[in-house]
Structure 1
Amino acid sequence: MNSQNPVIQVDGLSRSYRDVAALWDVTFSLQPNMICGLLGRNGAGKTTLMRMLTGQDFPSAGSVRLFGENPVENSTVLQQICFVSEAQRYPDGFQARHVLAGAPWFFADWDAAFADDLVGKFRLPLKRDVKKLSRGQQSALGVIVGLASRASITIFDEPYLGLDAVARHTFYDTLLADYAERPRTILLSTHLIDEVSNLLEHVLVLDEGRLLLDQSAESLRGSAAAVAGRAGDVDSFVEGRQILHRDTLGGLATVTIAGRLTAADHRAATAANLEIAPVSFQQLIVDLSTRSAPAPAVASVVHE
């Protein structure tokens, strides 16, 4: 575990909009130099959290600290952050080359040579208006800005969804290679959980505004298994274990259970004619999300 002070510290964070609680009592901290996945379904509160991390929104309760300071209107903090969003907008008439030329004004560690290399990798047309770029080209522009910023905290809010599969894997490979040479804190918000699972060192999962999971990715891998077979045999095997999900079809059942199975467990499953299968990272997150309880009512959110 990194013994340094957290680069991101969130305590009791809540945010409500009229009668909707977007976030509820969220608390976590991230140490410097890690790749963290921010996961959850649409409407889980991910974008709200990222907007507050980058000083674009205000808490209804609780606090956000980056490098120990409030990011709101704090130029010292904000110049160390790069927030790349799929919804990023630029002035009319702005071309891709204008975005890259202006980047050094916002990012002290901007690497123009790296940006030029990425322009070639992603085949980005520099002299085309941003609003006339295809969705994939706009995504490529966001990825280039995020990577070449070399910001101490780089947050990607799904800007790479417009990329095709080849371009996305180019992004993942480039991100890992550059991170290995220049470690920093990277927060990836994505629905493509299995695609990024091997990149992640830590996982935050939001569901209905609550923090459902705050755990190292390594501890999550292999932390659940699917047991399939005759329903009665499956029920006997999983008795007393934490059940994450259950499917039945006729007299057959498949049950996802939490926890790592021992060699003795595998022998017992074989003896009972049961099949044991690993659970993908994405399926584990889905199972955890679908079994979570509803968020509290907005009326109980305390406003400052």
Structure 2
Amino acid sequence: MTSVIEVNGLTKRYRETTAVDDVSFTIEKDTIYGLLGRNGAGKTTVMSILTAQNFATSGEVRVFGQNPYENAHVLSRMCFVRESQKYPDDAKPSHALRAASLFFPHWDQALADRLVADFQLPLNRRIKKLSRGQLSAVGVIIGIASRAEITFFDEPYLGLDAVARQIFYDRLLADYAEHPRTVILSSHLIDEVSNLIERVLVIDRGRIIIDEQTDAIRDRAANIVGDTAAVDAFVAGREVIHRESMGRVSSVTVLGALSSADRARLTEAGLDVAPVSLQQLIVRTTQHAGGEAAAAAVRSDGTDTKEALR
């Protein structure tokens, strides 16, 4: 595969806060990525730096092998669609789409027209008078119709209802199949986008904690459910990232693929095993990473870990 983005040792600090902490990764050509993580994890900061809308404190960023800052050739090949996109007070959707058609060399006006109809977007209403969903549709239409070689979607579709979000997913996939490009989706709706994304980047507290193919991640964990004593016996020595108990029944999420011998043990012990959805895995993993970080901070202070985490 050919890399279109290379990031090495990227760090961004705001006074006392480190938003991105020594991050390194690559983005491959013609692949749909999910850039996932909690609010404040660093997703928007990373995308802003990659699109030259923010500056790194340290580290190196290369897009198409070049520094993107003040580089018109590189910037014209990228589209960054964000939820908080600002427009002039008197701007209308027709103005925004017209401006986009002039900036992006691969703009497809016929596709934009079809998307306007799909999202029932009123072209001649002032943008400041649009509903949140209509405003989201403006960004989504620009992101798809631009056919930029790299397109970033920073949760601009949050204002869309379920039907409109499905239209977005369907239209994006259909056009991607005909016109492959690199797409980076930042989303909290992990289960909704899980069937779109081919590779997952999870950022937590400014650090990349998962960088894997989506299919490989699905087998990384399992939920073990049943009698608490039997569950505890099975998970002993395994990495547990989540536990829930009710009476004598426990549900424990463990990392690591289960072997055929493991599954035989589960059957013999009368335990049930269930797959972990991508959303569950990412939520549990970030919670687990947060707990480990807290424990490490406590240990560095010389405080008893169990006491501090109660």
Fold match by TM threshold 0.5? yes
Letter in 1 for 2:57: S
1:221 pairs, out of 193, 218, 228, with 218
2:163 pairs, out of 159, 162, 166, with 166
CA distance in 2, matches of 1:276, 1:104: 51
> Which residue of structure 2 lines up, in the alignment, with residue 39 of structure 1?
36
Letter in 2 for 1:140: A
1:185 pairs, out of 172, 176, 182, with 182
Q: Secondary structure at the match of 1:16?
A: strand
Answering whether residue 289 of structure 2 is matched by residue 273 of structure 1, we say no
Q: Secondary structure at the match of 2:38?
A: coil
Deviations 1:102-123 (A, max 9, x none): 1122101111110001000010
Letter in 1 for 2:28: Q
Letter in 2 for 1:124: L
> Which residue of structure 2 lines up, in the alignment, with residue 60 of structure 1?
57
CA distance in 2, matches of 1:65, 1:275: 47
Give the drift of 1:211: 0.9
> Which residue of structure 1 lines up, in the alignment, with residue 99 of structure 2?
102
Letter in 1 for 2:128: K
Q: Secondary structure at the match of 1:167?
A: helix
Q: Secondary structure at the match of 1:48?
A: helix
Give the drift of 1:251: 2.5
Answering whether residue 144 of structure 2 is matched by residue 147 of structure 1, we say yes
> Which residue of structure 2 lines up, in the alignment, with residue 263 of structure 1?
260
CA distance in 1, matches of 2:59, 2:246: 46
Give the drift of 1:31: 1.1
> Which residue of structure 2 lines up, in the alignment, with residue 113 of structure 1?
110
CA distance in 1, matches of 2:13, 2:293: 15
CA distance in 1, matches of 2:99, 2:39: 32
4+ residue runs of structure 1 moved beyond 4 angstroms? none
Aligned length: 294
CA distance in 1, matches of 2:265, 2:25: 39
> Which residue of structure 2 lines up, in the alignment, with residue 286 of structure 1?
283
Give the drift of 1:264: 2.8
Letter in 2 for 1:278: P
Larger fraction in helix: 2
Give the drift of 1:272: 0.7
1:73 pairs, out of 39, 50, 70, with 70
Q: Secondary structure at the match of 1:7?
A: strand
> Which residue of structure 2 lines up, in the alignment, with residue 197 of structure 1?
194
Contact kept in structure 2, 1:208 and 1:294, CA below 8 Å: no
1:123 pairs, out of 120, 126, 151, with 120
Give the drift of 1:92: 1.4
CA distance in 2, matches of 1:249, 1:60: 48
> Which residue of structure 1 lines up, in the alignment, with residue 301 of structure 2?
none
> Which residue of structure 1 lines up, in the alignment, with residue 47 of structure 2?
50
CA distance in 2, matches of 1:25, 1:13: 5
> Which residue of structure 2 lines up, in the alignment, with residue 21 of structure 1?
18
CA RMSD of aligned residues (A): 1.4
TM-score (norm 1): 0.94
TM-score (norm 2): 0.92
Contact kept in structure 2, 1:8 and 1:66, CA below 8 Å: yes
CA distance in 2, matches of 1:60, 1:248: 45
Contact kept in structure 2, 1:36 and 1:200, CA below 8 Å: yes
Higher relative contact order by CA 8 Å / sep ≥ 6: 1 or 2? 1
CA distance in 2, matches of 1:267, 1:210: 37
Percent identity over the alignment is 55
**Structure 2, gaps ≥5 residues long:** 298-310
